[in-house]
């Protein structure tokens, strides 16, 4: 269909869900739950964690999603109106479409009887899910949480909705690989992506007891609401700055200890500027020393998965000291330029990293991740 203003999307190609779980479950799950199930399996296998019977009520799931099972939702709505009979709505439409299908399916797949939550704060869902999972562990309700986000909403209706909202890039339809360009002067909207990221969070003694390979510590987090506008960020950046400060206070760290920021940076004209304004407000003179990148330049904006994908990028940066490039940054916009944002790989020892994640509904979340000594 060429009536879409934007012609660019970052789809996951060649995904084969039957590699990750039983083929019968494939028919009973929306792509968003399939991504989450696949990511959960990879995370559990990488963590080498074995959920023994005794531990299952202490092990839970918290997954963020912006839109839920949109693919099945749109198909069933189409079937209903096309056939004009209610009998054509599939019996599994509701369990496939519901927002908490991904977190429920993960629990069923792995026998996790602990707290099971779904967080819907639009584009900040993934980061909020990790923060809430940390709260559950801190509060003693769980020892292990599978936490992250998932999204699969590159669908005719949702894509049209974002187009109509003028949120997506339109000037790079002929060169799609150039369309996602956070902090660049020519950026003109985000590129819709899809995918999932799941992390295994556990309390420190649990991790030590099983000699886990500890990638990083979730040291703290902050969450605020700008109480301002459903889709437009508050222009001064003070609300985001306050979120960063709250997150750092939760982690008992100061702004000058931040080495790296995985920026929210969706490549929209207003959003990227506000974010840098906030970083400068919090870090002051230190802002020029902080290394910053935008993972969305590489994979597009994965909506409810974005904060969790950013968290994984941050964790890997803490491990390797490598900061991936912000690609397509050809001519930095002076309104959101900082020396630490580069279109090249940077390398430095990174002890403390932030993950920024902001969402429609005036939502902000900031995670603080720290290298484990």
3-state secondary structure of 369: strand
Work out how close the CB of 107 gets to other proteins at its nearest, in angstroms, rounded to a whole number.
Answer: 17
Q: Which of residues 48-87 bind other proteins (CB under 8 A)?
A: 87
Structure-token pair, residue 328: 């397509």
Work out how close the CB of 6 gets to other proteins at its nearest, in angstroms, rounded to a whole number.
Answer: 35
Indicate the residue among 12 and 26 with the shorter CB distance to other proteins.
Answer: 26
Interacting residue with other proteins among 7, 92, 98, 135 (CB under 8 A): 92
For 170, half-sphere exposure in the C-beta direction (CA atoms, 13 angstrom radius) is 14
Catalytic site residue 171?
A: no
DSSP-derived secondary structure letter, 37? H
Indicate the residue among 1 and 86 with the shorter CB distance to other proteins.
Answer: 86
With tokens 């910053």, the residue in question is 292
Work out how close the CB of 91 gets to other proteins at its nearest, in angstroms, rounded to a whole number.
Answer: 5
Structure-token pair, residue 212: 């886990």
CB-based contact 106:112 (threshold 8 Å): yes
Work out how close the CB of 23 gets to other proteins at its nearest, in angstroms, rounded to a whole number.
Answer: 6
Indicate the residue among 91 and 334 with the shorter CB distance to other proteins.
Answer: 91
DSSP-derived secondary structure letter, 233? P
Indicate the residue among 13 and 24 with the shorter CB distance to other proteins.
Answer: 24
Per-residue string for binding with other proteins, 170-209, x by CB under 8 A? ----------------------------------------
Stretch that binds other proteins, among 90-98, 235-243, 258-266, 293-301 (CB under 8 A): 90-98
195 sits in the region (left: phi over 0; alpha: psi -120 to 50; else beta) called left
CB-based contact 221:130 (threshold 8 Å): yes
Stretch that binds other proteins, among 2-10, 49-57, 89-97, 249-257 (CB under 8 A): 89-97
Work out how close the CB of 75 gets to other proteins at its nearest, in angstroms, rounded to a whole number.
Answer: 14
Q: What whole-number distance in Å separates Cα of residue 247 and Cα of residue 238?
A: 14
Work out how close the CB of 86 gets to other proteins at its nearest, in angstroms, rounded to a whole number.
Answer: 11
Q: At what angle do helices 70-83 and 156-164 cross, to 10 degrees?
A: 100
Work out how close the CB of 96 gets to other proteins at its nearest, in angstroms, rounded to a whole number.
Answer: 11
User: Is 174 exposed, middle or buried (CB count within 10 Å of its CB: 0-12, 13-18, 19+)?
Assistant: exposed
Indicate the residue among 83 and 228 with the shorter CB distance to other proteins.
Answer: 83
* Site residue total, other proteins (CB under 8 A): 6
Cβ atoms within 10 Å of 157's Cβ, excluding its own: 13
Q: What whole-number distance in Å separates Cα of residue 304 and Cα of residue 363?
A: 12
The residue among 204, 319, 323, 325 whose CA lies nearest residue 260 is 323
- Which among 128, 206, 283, 301 is annotated as catalytic? 301
Interacting residue with other proteins among 52, 53, 82, 91 (CB under 8 A): 91
169 sits in the region (left: phi over 0; alpha: psi -120 to 50; else beta) called beta
- Which among 128, 264, 324, 356 is annotated as catalytic? 264
DSSP-derived secondary structure letter, 67? S
- Which among 123, 153, 283, 336 is annotated as catalytic? 123
Stretch that binds other proteins, among 37-45, 88-96, 115-123, 340-348 (CB under 8 A): 88-96
Indicate the residue among 23 and 285 with the shorter CB distance to other proteins.
Answer: 23
Indicate the residue among 97 and 150 with the shorter CB distance to other proteins.
Answer: 97
Q: What whole-number distance in Å separates Cα of residue 254 and Cα of residue 261?
A: 14
Catalytic site residue 301?
A: yes
Cβ atoms within 10 Å of 27's Cβ, excluding its own: 11
Q: Which of residues 15-34 bind other proteins (CB under 8 A)?
A: 23-24
Structure-token pair, residue 163: 């187009």
Report the interface residues with other proteins, using CB under 8 A: 23-24, 87, 90-92
Catalytic residue positions? 123, 264, 301
């Amino acid at each position: 269909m060429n009536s879409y203003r934007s012609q660019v999307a970052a789809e996951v190609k060649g995904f084969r869900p039957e590699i990750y779980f039983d083929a019968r479950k494939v028919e009973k799950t929306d792509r968003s739950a399939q991504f989450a199930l696949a990511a959960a399996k990879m995370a559990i296998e990488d963590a080498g964690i074995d959920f023994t019977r005794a531990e299952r009520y202490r092990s839970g799931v918290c997954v963020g999603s912006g839109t839920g099972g949109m693919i099945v939702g749109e198909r069933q709505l189409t079937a209903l109106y096309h056939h004009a009979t209610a009998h054509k709505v599939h019996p599994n439409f509701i369990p496939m479409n519901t927002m908490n299908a991904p977190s429920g399916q993960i629990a069923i797949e792995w026998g996790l009887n602990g707290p099971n939550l779904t967080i819907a704060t639009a584009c900040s869902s993934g980061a909020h899910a990790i923060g809430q999972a940390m709260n559950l562990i801190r509060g003693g309700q769980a020892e292990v949480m599978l936490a992250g986000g998932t999204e699969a909403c590159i669908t005719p209706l949702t894509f049209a909705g974002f187009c109509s909202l003028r949120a997506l890039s339109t000037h790079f339809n002929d060169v799609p690989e150039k369309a996602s360009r956070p902090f660049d002067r020519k950026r003109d909207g985000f590129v819709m992506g899809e995918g999932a990221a799941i992390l295994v969070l556990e309390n420190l003694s649990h991790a030590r007891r099983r000699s886990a390979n500890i990638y990083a510590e979730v040291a703290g987090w902050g969450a605020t609401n700008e109480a301002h506008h459903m889709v437009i960020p508050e222009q001064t950046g003070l609300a985001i700055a306050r979120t960063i400060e709250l997150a750092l206070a939760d982690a008992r760290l100061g702004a000058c200890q931040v080495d790296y920021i995985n920026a929210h940076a969706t490549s929209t004209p207003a959003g990227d500027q506000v974010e840098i304004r906030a970083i400068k407000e919090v870090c002051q003179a230190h802002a020029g020393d902080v290394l910053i990148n935008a993972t969305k330049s590489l994979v597009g904006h994965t909506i409810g998965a974005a904060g969790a994908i950013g968290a994984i990028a941050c964790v890997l940066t803490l491990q390797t000291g490598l900061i991936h490039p912000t690609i397509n940054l050809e001519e930095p916009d002076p309104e959101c330029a900082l020396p630490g944002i580069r279109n090249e790989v940077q390398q430095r020892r990174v002890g403390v990293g932030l993950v920024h994640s902001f969402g429609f509904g005036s939502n902000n979340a900031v995670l603080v991740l720290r290298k484990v000594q």
